[in-house]
Amino acid sequence: MRSLDEQVGLLFAWGARFISGTCGRWVDCEPSTRQRVYFANHSSHFDILVLWSSLPRDVRRLTRPLAARDYWESSRFRRYLVLRVFNAIMIDRQGHGGGMRAAYESVEATLKGMGDQYSIIIFPEGTRGDGEHIGPFKGGLYHIARDKPGVELVPVYLENLNRILPKGGLVPIPMVSSISFGRPLVLQEGEKKQDFLDRARQAVLTLQEG
């Protein structure tokens, strides 16, 4: 017997697919339950749900999105969704009064939440973009890659989602979107932080182009 939270999760996954018609396109990457970091461009609050729904069910069970505390804890419904259904790791966003210390704590919380079996979903831009341009990546991805050397870093590109639920929109509008998973990256020996972040961003841009 599945738990209620899991049933709700299935319902949401089904609903997200009905609205967005998304099925994942695994371009240079196979679905797997091994520990991974999925990093994607961010343009809509719908992103987490759609990315999470497009993963196969056994992978989904072992994947925890990173969610910004200020948004997701602002109502009971969101809190239920993000904690019980998505099993998310809550993060205090940088630039919300925290600075370096908050950034450090976010990485700590993420590593703790990953343990040695959970994969995570992160949006390294840190905030939602306009859906066309992908902003510069923040450092968290680098720190996770450095502290978890065995983990695969999978670039993901989400298309059309900001048309489904743009900034300020309340109800998602049905639209066909696509979600592509690219070739996993690994942090090279001695690679500088900025070089790595640029390379990771480039991997998402490559998916956007083709």
Partner 1 sequence: MDKLTILFFGSVLGLLALGTLCAAFLRRKQAGATAQAVGATLKARVMAWWAMCGVMAVAMLSGGIGSVIVFGLSSFLLLREFITITPTRKADHGALFWAFFVVLPLQYYSLYTGWYGLFIILIPVYAFLIIPIRMVAAGDASRFLERTAKIQWGLMLCIYCVSHAPALLKLSLPGGVSEGFRLLLFLCLVVQIHDLTHTLLEKVIPGHKVAATLGARESWEAVVLAIGLSVGTGAAFAWATPFSAAQAAGMALGVSIMALAGRLCWTAIQNDRGRQGVVVVHTRPPMIERLIPLCFAAPLFLHLTRYFFTTGSLAGF
Contact between 17 and partner 1 by CB under 8 A: the answer reads no
Structural tokens at position 180:
């592509």
Which of 15, 95, 136, 174 binds partner 1 (CB under 8 A)? It is 174
Name which of 167 and 183 has its Cβ closer to partner 1: 167
Residues 87 to 116: which contact partner 1 by CB under 8 A?
A: none
Per CB under 8 A, 159 contacts partner 1: yes
Among 169, 193, 199, 205, binds partner 1 (CB under 8 A): 169
- From 78, 175, 199, 205, residue interacting with partner 1 (rule: CB under 8 A): 175
Instruction: In whole angstroms, give the CA distance from residue 120 to residue 126.
Output: 15
If binding is defined by CB under 8 A, does position 127 make contact with partner 1?
Answer: no
CB atoms within 10 A of CB 106: 26
By three-state DSSP, how is residue 13 classified? helix
Q: Using the Cα atoms of residue 140, residue 20, residue 204 and residue 116 in order, give the sign of their dihedral.
A: positive
Rounded-to-integer distance, Cα 34 and Cα 62, Å: 9
Chain positions contacting partner 1, by CB under 8 A: 21, 25, 159-160, 163, 166-169, 171, 173-178
